[in-house]
Amino acid sequence: MNQPLILEPTRPADACVIWLHGLGADRYDFEPVAQALQQRLDSTRFVLPQAPTRPVTINGGYSMPSWYDILAMSPARAIAQDQLEASAQLVIGLIEAQRDAGIDPARIFLAGFSQGGAVVLHTAFLRWQGPLGGVLALSTYAPTFAEQLELTESARGVPALCLHGRFDDVVPLAMGRAAHDCLAAAGVEVQWRDYPMAHEVRPEEILEIGAWLAQRIG
């Protein structure tokens, strides 16, 4: 397993964002985004883990960085649940490492793009036991959310920001909106933003993320 890329802030770290890349990308994919955000969040450490390389069924079995195998695109994405659980445990290990390094879990945020976002939604709301600063779900979906989402009290207290492209042809906007709606129905403080874009990240989206994080980090 590759070690995560860790970007230290200019001041002593008192908050942390753990940011997962999407399918086929790597831990350097969001390095420029993290560097841009650190100009505003100058006491926030960014941890960018790397997914293992493995065969992906929907891509003809071609091996690429993947948090879990996608077996079929429908119904609503058939996935390798055991690999998703392993990725969630990896994220929990990163949270615990930051906690043990002195960061209050209430100031640890999980962020993820596309497949990485599915992992952080699953981890934050269904697997992690305890407080978190919040979740950033970019152009993603929640393959493990049920229509009636049963959350612990601590999970209901985790705020979330869901961001999506209106013209996303990889993860349709409706899938992202469904994840948002599940969280809202379960009592989570969740916000929705959509943009005139495809399956990508835009500068105005990063500005929104920076403002959302700054409001919670202080």
Cα distances (angstroms) measured from residue 148 to each of 19, 28, 37, 53, 179: 27, 36, 35, 34, 11
Catalytic residue among 114, 139, 164, 180: 114
Decide if 199 is catalytic.
yes
User: Catalytic one among 26, 29, 69, 168?
Assistant: 168
Determine whether 164 is an active site residue. Answer: no
Q: Is the peptide bond before 75 cis (omega within 30 degrees of 0)?
A: yes
Output the six-digit token pair for 114.
Answer: 């596309």
Active-site annotation holds for 168 = yes
Could you give the C-alpha distances from 25 to 99, 108, 113, 122, 197, in angstroms and in order? Answer: 27, 23, 10, 20, 19
* Residue 95: partners with Cβ closer than 8 Å, 6 or more residues away: 18, 105, 108, 110, 128, 132
Q: Supply 163's token pair.
A: 């961001």
State the catalytic residue, choosing from 14, 181, 194, 199. 199
Positions marked active-site: 114, 168, 199
